[in-house]
Homo-oligomer: A and B are copies of this chain.
Amino acid sequence: MSDTPSPRAARSRERLLRAATDLLVESGPRGVTVDAVAEASGVAKSTLYRQWSSRDDMLIDVVRCNIPALTQPNLTDGFESALRWYVNDGAATLADPEWSRIIPAMMSLQVTMPAVAACIEIDRTSKTATLRTIVDLGIEEGILPADIDVEMASRILFGPLVYSSLLGDQDQLDKLAVEVVDRFLAPYAV
């Protein structure tokens, strides 16, 4: 059932993924050619085709492996603490220059490659579910109204961060994160 991932194969795979990611960041999807990845990684094309059946398969894997996983928020310190923690974590992720340079490529690939869109969809579903647990805590604490729209909250909280990152301003994301949460919570303050 579980195929043993030979240590050698795993190492080659890592190198290929690393090189492909770099090429994607530097040159966009167009730069991620089989030959370029092979040369940049120091791994032969034949080995690349032992890992993936096609260039597109590889590209999908590159995207999949580069979607960052946010850490699960600690709910024991209460709603506001958890929310601030989660949004700050998102801002920190977006502030990573490498990740922020991959986003545009992913957004572009999403349109033409359904598999990439699926990866992003899965990730977003998971992140929305996490936000859902935080919001539920807020409702439980009587801070948020019970009928609050989690999707809209997600847009209002993370939209400015993603937008700012896309525009190339990663420097003040942490400040923006604080501002965004402040404004989000303001209407519900006692």
Name A's B-contacting residues (CB within 8 A). 25-31, 101, 103-105, 107-112, 124, 151-152, 155-156, 158-164, 166-167, 169, 176, 179-180, 183-184, 186-187
Q: Which residues of B contact A112 (CB under 8 A)?
A: 26-28, 30-31
> Are A156 and B167 in touch, CB under 8 angstroms?
no
Known: A107-B108, A108-B108. A160 touches B156 (CB 8 A): yes
Q: Which residues of B contact A186 (CB under 8 A)?
A: 183, 186-187
Q: How far is the CA of A29 from the CA of B109 in the complex (A)?
A: 10
Contact A105 B101 (CB under 8 A): no
- Tell me the complex Cα distance, A31–B112, Å: 10
- How many copies of the chain does the oligomer comprise? 2
Q: Which of A25, A105, A112, A161 has the most CB of B within 10 A?
A: A112
Assess whether B28 is in contact with A108, with CB atoms less than 8 Å apart: yes
CB distance from A36 to the nearest CB of B (A): 14
Contact A163 B158 (CB under 8 A): yes
Distance in angstroms between the alpha carbons of A58 and B112 in the assembled complex: 21
Bound together, the chains give a CA A110 to CA B108 distance in angstroms of 11
CB-contact partner of A160 in B25, B110, B160, B167, under 8 A: B160
